[in-house]
Structure 1
Amino acid sequence: FILMISILLAVCTFLYIYIIGINTFILLTFVHYHVLIITFRLVVKVCTFSYIYIIGSLYIFVHCMCYRWRLCIYVICSLSRFDYHLWRFYF
C-alpha cells in the first residue's frame, strides 16, 4: 500500500515536471500547441485527483487505526460515493 502510494506520487510529480517542461519548450516553438494544452490539462486533473485521493486514503487509514471499525466502514462508504461524484464532476 505504502509502496503503491509512493510510486503514484513519484509518477505524478515526474509527469507534472515533464509536462510543464515540454509545455514551456512548445510554447517557444508553437508546434502542436493545442494538443499539448489538452495533454497538460488532463495530466494536471489526473494528478491532482490522485493527490487528493492519496491524502484521503491516508487520512482514512490513520482514522481506522485510531478509532472504531464501524465508524471507519461508514466513512469509507460515504467517501466512495463522494469520490464517484467528484470524479464525474471533475472530468
Structure 2
Amino acid sequence: LREQVSKLSQFPFFLKDSIRENVRLARQDATDEEVEEACRLAHIHSVIADPAKLERGYDTVVDVQVPSGGQKRLIAMARCLLRRP
C-alpha cells in the first residue's frame, strides 16, 4: 500500500541540496527531463527556469534561496508526481 501513496505535507522536508536533487528524492533513477516534467505538472517549472526569479534554475539550493513556502510546497508536489504511485 505504501508504494501506491504519496504524502504532501504542509511543511515538506528538504535536504540542503539543489531543487533537482530534492525532487529526485522520490525516484533516484529519474532523468533530468523527468524531473523537469514533474515540475511542469506541479506548475513550478516556470519559476525555476526563470533566471530573474532563480538565477541557478534547477541547481538552486533549497534553503534561503527558495524563500516562499508556496514554492517549497510546489517542489514537494513535483516530488510526489515524479514518484507516480
TM-score, structure 2 length as denominator? 0.30
Quick one: higher RCO (CA 8 Å, sep 6+), 1 or 2?
2
Larger % of helix: which?
1
User: Whose Rg is larger?
Assistant: 1
TM-score, structure 1 length as denominator? 0.28
